[in-house]
Chain A
């Protein structure tokens, strides 16, 4: 800027090498003047008489480090100046805060997802568990309504429930939660808090959950028996249901589902136990 000299040369040598000698400043426009200025400062500040003593001590230090094996040390991030690698520029405060917030959010979502996935699996497992034995447990389709408040009737609603992909997820969840709720009665209220909240919301109050669940499960059972006739998969269950001693959950389970004999037997017992519970407690409007 201040390099305003009277010369008239073209602004040609703006790419002067910093190490090169410069006889006189170029008569250039402002950009050239800046580069020229850089060159002048580079020359002036790099000018130093060599100090052999300093060089010797540096080389001595190098030799000592090499012989001590210090040169095998691991490369730290700050030692890596390879050109291809992205240089880590320090982030601005705003960026840091954004990143921190984003990671907190993602972490929260992840934790929440763990909860929902966990309860989902539980519900699914519950469904499959109770589904198999009750398939064997089930009476002829028409009998379900007749059984009404009878023991085991609510639970027969479950067969093959989780196997129907078209079933709305919320209804299936509610059903699963209901089943879990019914079971939890046995074990002293081990129902997952989220599931419980949903159930309460769906039922319209904590006190109505029992009735709600009973109604819900009965309804689901009704639907399912309707479907069971049509679908081939449920047909399997029906065939065991046709077994003469369908009143006994264990035998058909072990006979007709040889792949899972143990599960069938165990769950049959389970089903019986939990099936009796809601009727004993709440007297659900089973006829609904």
Chain B
């Protein structure tokens, strides 16, 4: 499981993204739209993990700031992901501060108990982890783990970039991502049907939370 510490491979569209950003900085609004389409899914996924259903609103706030400050940005496509994630994170934290809402799902315990029953079909559990379910699991993580996982997995940042976004040391972020992923894996394993996991965690998988059997 040492893979948690490896830098992520570059995102496939980083070259295209970098070129689009450069053109947008020269004033090309079509290129800006291209950059938007490349970045927005990851950004939105990250924000959903942070602020839940308000993610769209926070994202459009973030994009206003990105559009305004685009001239200040220096860097390539991967850098643009990090820069935009930083802006989005600040907007999200502002939002949370206003709301005084913790990003953790309060319902976690009950949901986790119900899940094996609800998501027991092969399709749901294995082939397509539903967006709602994935969000639920990620938001159940401690905040630092959830953010580290989201930045690396969903936004696609490498370790140092994620650390810069979070304002932490790379080692701390690496550890948080590793722990978060391990926890997610356990929870998915607890619900995975088929094979020896179908019957639940009877074969040595330690219970992730106290309540999951």
Contacts and interface: CB of A to CB of B under 8 A. Distances in A.
Nearest to A43: B129
Interface in B95-140: 126-131, 133-135, 138
Interface in B126-174: 126-131, 133-135, 138, 149-150, 152-154, 156, 160-161, 163-164, 167-170
A45 B169 CA distance: 25
Interface residues of A, number: 62
B128 A80 contact: no
B3 A31 contact: yes
B172 to A, nearest CB: 10
A66 interface: yes
B166 to A, nearest CB: 9
B196 A6 contact: yes
B14 to A, nearest CB: 11
B74 to A, nearest CB: 5
A22 B12 CA distance: 16
Nearest to B171: A89
Given A3-B188, A5-B197, A55 B45 contact: no
A59 B36 contact: yes
A73 B9 CA distance: 32
B163 A89 contact: yes
B197 A4 contact: yes
A90 B167 contact: yes
Given A59-B32, A92-B169, A54 B25 contact: no
A1 B127 contact: no
B29 A80 contact: no
A6 B194 contact: yes
B196 A4 contact: yes
B72 A74 contact: yes
Contacts of B160: 87, 89
Given A81-B82, A82-B74, A83-B76, A45 B205 contact: no
A109 interface: no
Given A40-B129, A48-B41, A71-B70, A57 B60 contact: yes
B191 to A, nearest CB: 9
Contacts of B164: 87-89
Contact of A2 (B64, B79, B131, B189): B189
A5 B195 contact: yes
A87 B158 CA distance: 12
Given A38-B153, A87-B164, A66 B29 contact: yes
Interface string A61-92: 11111100011111110111111000111101
- Which of A30, A37, A81 has most chain B Cβ within 10 Å? A81
A61 B3 contact: no
A57 B78 CA distance: 24
A44 B189 contact: no
B63 A44 contact: no
A15 interface: yes
A62 B138 contact: no
A1 B190 CA distance: 10
B64 A4 contact: no
A207 interface: no
A24 B126 CA distance: 6
A37 B170 CA distance: 21
A57 B61 CA distance: 10
Given A3-B185, A38-B153, A80 B129 contact: no
Given A37-B185, A45-B150, A18 B156 contact: yes
Contact of B153 (A17, A31, A41, A78): A41
Contacts of A41: 129, 134, 138, 149, 153-154, 184
Contacts of A48: 40-41, 44-45, 131
Contacts of A5: 192, 194-195, 197
Contacts of B209: none
B68 A70 contact: yes
Contacts of B167: 90
Give the top 5 A-B pairs by smallest Cβ distance, nearest first.
A2-B189, A71-B71, A81-B79, A81-B75, A44-B134
13 contacts: A1-B186, A2-B201, A34-B3, A37-B181, A41-B134, A54-B63, A55-B36, A61-B64, A65-B68, A66-B29, A72-B71, A81-B82, A83-B75
